Amino acid sequence: MPTHSLHALRAFACALLLAAVPMLAAAKGEVNDLFAAGANVSVDRPVTGDAMLAGGTVEVRAPVSDRVRVAGGDVMVDSTIGGKVLAAGGNVTIGPEAVIGGDARVYAGDAQVDGRIEGNLHVSAGKVSINGQVRGDVVVRAGSVELGRDARIGGLLRYTGAELRRDEGAVVGGAVIHDAEARESRKYTIQGPGRASGVFFFVLELVVGALLLRFAPNFSARAADRTADSPASMVGLGFVVLVMLPVVFILLCILIIGIPFALALGAAVPVILLLSFALAVLGLAHRLPAMFRQAEPLHVSGQLAWFAIALAAVLVVGTVPVLGWLVMALFLLAGLGAFTLEIRRRRTGGPSSGGAPAGRPIAA
């Protein structure tokens, strides 16, 4: 797949996931570190620390003292940023009022850079337009690259697999390097095994999801709804459980009588993690029919189809550097927390708080 098509696909997958995320925080008043997510997120008050933002439409119009990590369908950064910027989305714009103190990395369908970047700029997109200032180097992977009249690049310009259109007024201080063939060759050589393992993981989780839907429909529906309805609390619980697992394993090994239990726990952990990730993806899959104005499926085959779509979206986002690892970790932790709570509920016979809501189809 061409590089620009891959990043357009990543951007769509990001938008799909973010459209299913409920509002978690609002950016009101001066804050230290800010985490905000929702359909529309706007930062219009100063942030004295880092900012991590996600939403359908995300705008950063107030100063942020440190780093900014942002993902969304439409992303606008148009203020002073003290540190680095990582932005991923369908459309990403570094506005004319933006001053970024560190490096900037952009992954998008369309990327527009009109502001000033004191460090280096790395862009992977379908289309890239630069009409601002970059003090360092610019590295671009895109279908097309356009340098406007006001483009000023202090270092070199390296672009891969792209058509370059350069206005006569654009200035590049260093060399202009087009190395499509060499870099594409290295990219496919390096990423080949990674892609193969990604396909294997997709098939494996698809099988896990099918088994859950077929043989444990009530359990999977309740646990999945926990991840969708209370993602923050499930992530927190999942983190605690993940930290405690090696502690319990070591304690069992210390006790001679506990060694068989330690071995059993060690064998069970990979299975539990696979199940946990699948449960979190099921939580996303439960939201997708409503997003696309479709009726919720009544049969396992229909539920599995939505699960496959959700799983593909999560794994595509998982290929985005930094952001991808964060998303995968959050899904795993949320699923682990929900898995733990549902196991506890079944063992104690407690009420199904946060279980499958009335009217949700549960296949037998």
The rounded distance, in Å, linking the Cα atoms of 217 and 219 is: 6
- Position 116 scores a pLDDT of 97
- Position 13 scores a pLDDT of 56
- Partnered with residue 152 across adjacent β-strands are 133, 171
In this predicted structure, which of 13-27, 87-101, 150-164 has the lowest mean pLDDT?
Answer: 13-27
In this predicted structure, which of 132-136, 216-220, 280-284, 313-317 has the lowest mean pLDDT?
Answer: 313-317
- Position 347 scores a pLDDT of 82
Q: Give residue 8's pLDDT band: very low, low, confident or very high (50, 70, 90).
A: low
- Position 115 scores a pLDDT of 96
pTM of the model: 0.54
* Spatial contact of 43 and 165, defined as CB atoms under 8 Å apart: no
Asked if pLDDT for residue 106 goes beyond 70, the answer is yes
With tokens 């006790």, the residue in question is 255
**Most distant pair of Cα atoms in the chain: their distance:** 78
Share of the chain above pLDDT 90, in %: 41
Mean pLDDT confidence for 71-91: 88
Asked if pLDDT for residue 164 goes beyond 50, the answer is yes
Q: Domain limits of the chain?
A: 3-178, 192-348
Asked if pLDDT for residue 216 goes beyond 80, the answer is yes
CA atoms 349, 351, 353, 358: torsion sign: positive
In this predicted structure, which of 62-76, 117-131, 329-343 has the lowest mean pLDDT?
Answer: 62-76
Helices (H), the chain: 3-19, 180-215, 217-229, 231-254, 259-291, 300-317, 323-348
In a 10 Å sphere around its CB, with 0-12 CB exposed, 13-18 middle and 19+ buried, how is residue 62 labelled? middle
Give residue-wise pLDDT tens across range 233-282: 999 999 999 999 888 888 888 877 878 888 888 889 999 999 999 999 99
